[in-house]
Structure 1
């Protein structure tokens, strides 16, 4: 493993975009950030594929400009292989904490970095 500062920085920037309401409510903007083979295991334990996530994201938490927003902290990343970056961090939204892990891969078609996998694990209160 190595640290590819440019790849990690790009993955971090795109991860932050995905947490913003403007992107979450736009299928077009979200579409360009999710890998064709995207999979997520959410904090609820639900498994999401790309199409399910694209359809549901505008209505999920963090999508309303006037509602609770994700507050990320401690985001770090490492290049696992050329064109593959792993990010880890924590979020708080509406008082609930989760530990998060994302894998980003650089698309060979010139579209840049896309989220391939994401997992959220709830952090118990207290």
Structure 2
């Protein structure tokens, strides 16, 4: 189940980077755990409600010329039903290192993002 769990979390993470998904509050809400929190690359802390309400207006959404370009995405099963993903994104020339925790919900039979953090990578840092 390890490989399947990690693959499912990766697929869900990539959906959240898709401009069409980012532009839909319903699609975003379906991928986020109700207890979701994020520490964004801005340093701000976001809750589930904040994220569902504001994500369609953030960069990388529909109609925005800039799209997230993920690279080096890797994952590990930390415990049954808990996957950690790590990767880097490029958006409009800005790099960020990211990590997410995805947890399985038996009630819905789906993976939900529980936590996300983005850390900007300053220019010149390999």
> Does TM, scored on the shorter chain, surpass 0.5?
yes
In 1: Cα distance, 2:25 partner to 2:7 partner: 23
Equivalent position SS for 1:32 = helix
Task: Show the 5 A alignment for 1:21-32.
Answer: 21-32=19-30
Is 2:93 aligned against 1:87?
Answer: no
TM-score, normalization: structure 1?
0.95
- The aligned residue for residue 53 of structure 1 is 51
- The aligned residue for residue 19 of structure 1 is 17
- The aligned residue for residue 105 of structure 1 is 103
Equivalent position SS for 1:68 = coil
TM-score, normalization: structure 2?
0.95
**RMSD over aligned Cα atoms:** 1.1
Q: Which runs of 5+ in 1 are unaligned?
A: none
Number of equivalences: 124
Q: Which runs of 5+ in 2 are unaligned?
A: none
| Per-residue deviation, 1:108 | 1.8
Moved over 4 A (4+): none
